[in-house]
């Protein structure tokens, strides 16, 4: 659990950090509101403990910014304040704070509020994981893949980096289901995703598009490199033996490759789809690059 601590007094920063550390959490410290925002946007955080009165940006201003941006809007925000009048507290909660702690700080209370915050963050993470993953294979689901891909496309455009996409479809999967049963087909899908994982980098994103169709997003990869990656994936799938019901079998997949250019993700996906169709037509268990 990453806990962002923002306070302009060194004593407060040190105290809060040491309590956070005793809980087994990781403190990340900022000296003012502007630095807190920088850290939040760059490295992320799970819980933030923000002093209300700070130079550059106040705690409330930081909260407003964090809530506005999709990347930081889910953090659990605790405002620390010397104010104890009810109006200030109402203003804090209505302004986006999830909780508040009154000064002077009492260690046991701070720790209890951090623990309560951690429970909410853990629940949120679990819900997000469920909403983002395909339950059978553990790959990202279609919606999650498309959302993250759109972010990556915008990012690559801004930073002038190359980005490619693969569309994969298992060959003759219907006959796997027909001869091995639906459970055999499911087993094949799981092993397929594992095999892809061995051939990809941790920064690549594998998504299940539907049925037995998958997509891979390859950051920092031009279409020529992407073809090489695709062939590594293809070979890994071909080399995988699937065990089911006392029997074993193998599958292959066809892959279409496209670079993602200025015309965006949808255009790249439809080019990759055409290339995938070409790979099927040319005999399957092949990689084709989009024209
Ligand atoms: P091709 O080589 O042209 O891709 O042929 P194919 O048989 O793979 O393609 P087709 O689209 O005809 O068949 C896809 C099959 O995938 C049909 C469907 O029953 C099966 N399928 C889709 N989702 C699942 C799933 O979650 N589990 C299992 N076991 N089968 C699935
Ligand atoms: Mg198929």
Six token digits for residue 253: 């997949």
Residue-level pLDDT at 277: 98
Whether ligand 1 lies within 6 angstroms of the CB of 211 is answered as yes
Q: Which residues neighbour 264 within 8 Å (Cβ) at sequence distance 6 or greater?
A: 153
Selected catalytic residue, list 212, 213, 220, 288: 212
Cα separations (Å) of 255 from 73, 97, 132, 260?
A: 37, 48, 24, 16
Q: What is the dihedral of CA 55, 59, 62, 66, to 10 degrees?
A: 160
Ligand 1 midpoint to CA 291 (Å): 27
* pLDDT tens column, 102-133: 999 999 999 999 999 999 999 999 999 999 99
| CB of 236 closer than 8 Å to CB of 200 | no
Domains annotated for the chain, with CATH where assigned, are 2-132 (3.40.50.2300), 142-289 (3.30.70.270)
* pLDDT tens column, 265-276: 999 999 999 999
Express as a percent the part of the chain with pLDDT over 70: 100
User: How far apart, in whole angstroms, are the C-alpha atoms of residue 189 and residue 269?
Assistant: 22
Question: The whole model's pTM is what?
Answer: 0.82
Whether ligand 1 lies within 6 angstroms of the CB of 134 is answered as no
* pLDDT tens column, 20-73: 999 999 999 999 999 999 999 999 999 999 999 999 999 999 999 999 998 899
Strands (E), the chain: 2-6, 26-30, 47-51, 76-81, 99-102, 163-170, 205-210, 213-219, 242-244, 247-249, 253-259, 287-289
Nearest atom (ligand 1) to Cα of 136:
26
CB atoms within 10 A of CB 227: 19
Known active-site residue 187: no
Six token digits for residue 119: 């429970």
């Amino acid at each position: 659990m990453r806990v962002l601590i923002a306070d302009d007094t060194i004593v407060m920063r040190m105290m809060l950090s040491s309590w956070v550390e005793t809980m087994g959490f990781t403190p990340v410290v900022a000296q003012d509101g502007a630095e807190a925002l920088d850290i939040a946007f760059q490295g992320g955080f799970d819980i933030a403990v923000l002093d209300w009165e700070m130079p550059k940006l106040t705690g409330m201003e930081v909260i407003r910014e964090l809530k506005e941006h999709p990347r930081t809007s889910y953090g659990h925000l605790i405002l620390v304040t010397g104010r104890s009048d009810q109006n200030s507290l109402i203003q804090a909660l209505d302004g986006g704070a999830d909780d508040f702690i009154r000064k002077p700080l009492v260690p046991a209370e701070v720790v209890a509020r951090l623990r309560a915050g951690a429970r909410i963050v853990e629940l949120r993470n679990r819900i997000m994981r469920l909403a983002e993953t395909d339950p059978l294979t553990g790959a990202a689901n279609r919606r999650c893949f498309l959302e993250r891909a759109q972010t990556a496309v915008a990012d690559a455009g801004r930073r002038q980096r190359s980005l490619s996409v693969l569309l994969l479809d298992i060959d003759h999967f219907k006959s796997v289901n027909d001869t091995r049963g639906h459970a055999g087909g499911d087993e094949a899908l799981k092993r397929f995703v594992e095999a892809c994982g061995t051939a990809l980098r941790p920064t690549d994103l594998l998504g299940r598009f539907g049925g037995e169709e998958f997509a891979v997003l390859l950051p920092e990869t031009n279409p020529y490199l992407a073809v090489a990656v695709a062939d590594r994936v293809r070979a890994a799938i071909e080399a995988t033996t699937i065990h089911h019901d006392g029997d074993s079998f193998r599958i292959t997949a066809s892959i279409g490759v496209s670079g993602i250019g200025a015309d965006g993700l949808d255009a790249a996906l439809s080019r990759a789809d055409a290339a995938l169709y070409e790979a099927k037509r040319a005999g399957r268990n092949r990689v084709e690059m989009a024209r």
